[in-house]
Chains A and B, each alone.
Chain A
Amino acid sequence: MNKREAIFSAFPLCLCVSVVRFVPFALALLAVSPAPTFAGDGTRTDKPVIEIAKPGKCIAPAEEMRRNHMDMLKHQRDRTLRLGIRGEPVTLNGCIECHASQKTGSVLGEGNFCQSCHAYAAVKLDCFECHQPKAGFKATGVKP
């Protein structure tokens, strides 16, 4: 009950915070529009630092990954979820296993693989609202 009241009384403050948060979001939205043109050529000069935690080979040439990973992922999620196809080369969990930072174990967070590049390209990634960004994470769950 206490927590609820706390949330409730914090409302006016959070309201302001939300509004303020909305501003950069709106700006980000503006910023996204030119992003695809950037992404089109994977050879642009100043790239963000990309740390490859587990050296080896990606599921496709880096060039192609840079350009097409979003389509691969979006195509794959329908195959996996709707058709039930598993064990194909593209899986989001697969990306995370290889690309998670050795320090934090995550693909998100400052300087880590997915986030650093996306912050640079100003592309919002909402996948990790649901998908676990940490490699090898074991959920516990709590009794109801």
Chain B
Amino acid sequence: MTSPQTPDNARRKFIAAAGAGVAGLGFTAIAPGLHLMAVGEANAAPTPRKAGEPANPAVRWGLLIDANKCAPGCTKCIDACHTENGVSANLPDPRQNSQWIRKIELVDRRPGKTRGHVTQLPMMCQHCAEPPCVDVCPTGASMKRADGIVLVDRHTCIGCRYCMMACPYKARSFVHAPLNDQNPEVPRGKGCVESCTLCVHRIDKGQQPACVESCPEGAMTFGDLNDADSAIAKRIASVPTTQVRADLRLNPGVRYEGL
């Protein structure tokens, strides 16, 4: 799945060709032309949505992460995320702490000349177009917003953790203890499952996700995958990129470059 010529490629070409950004991304009906609204500057901030306007189904927010640029030992994106979202790590058993984003270190063990090569990358909710967490959630608390962001509606989450069993990326955390230092814009609480929200509260204000903004290497590109003119879509159309666990055909909204 790490080789870039799997379904990935076909899909990428398809996206490029489709232009209007329809693509087999799980959206059934999209008004052609709407994509023109989101203008694709390199890493441009999204346009803030007007008051009273719902999320735009023509848009699909995504991230492109360049693993080549991700610096060893740097945890800026993680710090930024956890500060923005008020995620703290103070439980005695570290395995019970939430981590919305984490740094993964990969050592290549495949035979060949890349053997032993070390790669770094941040890992978080992949915001799949076909999210297994949404399929399995008994109450429908796991949900995908119209613009492709996968969220947990913590007003209906009962804390059964079935979504955590279903997620192939270990992207979700369960809040194991009561909290009281939440950021007002990011409510979080005991007994519910949570994960990266792509900083919805920032996107809706026309800002970038905290991690993207904080990366000193510019390794993360945020934008509208459906908009062929956006920096992210252009980049995905021109360089080989990888979907993690492409074999599951979940069509994640987070793509990696340099794997």
Contact = CB atoms under 8 A, between A and B. Distances in A.
Interface of A: 1-4, 7, 77-78, 81-88, 93, 96, 129-132, 134-144
B250 to A, nearest CB: 21
A4 B75 CA distance: 28
B184 A88 contact: no
Contact of B151 (A7, A81, A88): A81
B153 A143 contact: no
A144 B51 contact: no
Given A87-B52, A130-B154, A138 B183 contact: yes
Nearest to A74: B155
Contacts of B184: 93, 96, 131-132, 134-137, 139
11 contacts: A4-B92, A78-B153, A130-B189, A131-B184, A134-B184, A139-B181, A139-B183, A140-B88, A141-B83, A144-B82, A144-B89
Given A81-B155, A87-B50, 19 more contacts: A7-B92, A82-B145, A82-B153, A84-B145, A93-B184, A96-B184, A130-B154, A130-B179, A130-B182, A130-B189, A131-B187, A136-B184, A137-B182, A138-B183, A139-B83, A139-B85, A140-B181, A141-B83, A144-B78
A84 B84 contact: no
B13 interface: no
B215 to A, nearest CB: 16
A135 B184 CA distance: 8
Contacts of A134: 184
A143 B100 CA distance: 12
Contacts of A86: 49, 51, 204-205
Closest 8 CB pairs of A and B: A87-B51, A84-B55, A139-B86, A130-B189, A139-B183, A130-B187, A4-B92, A141-B82
Interface string B142-156: 010111000101110
A125 to B, nearest CB: 13
Secondary structure dominating the interface of B: loop
A81 B145 CA distance: 8
B99 interface: yes
Interface residues of B, number: 49
B49 to A, nearest CB: 7
Interface in B165-208: 178-179, 181-190, 192, 200, 204-205
Contacts of A143: 75, 78-79, 82, 89
Nearest to B56: A84
A26 to B, nearest CB: 20
Contacts of B188: 130
B102 interface: yes
B43 interface: no
B92 A132 contact: no
Contacts of A139: 83, 85-86, 181-184, 186
B131 to A, nearest CB: 15
Interface string B44-62: 0000011111110000000
Nearest to B53: A85
Contacts of A81: 151, 153, 155
Nearest to B203: A84
B119 interface: no
Contacts of B200: 84
B199 to A, nearest CB: 13
Q: Which of A7, A77, A84, A135 has the most CB of B within 10 A?
A: A84
A131 B182 contact: yes
A84 B190 CA distance: 24
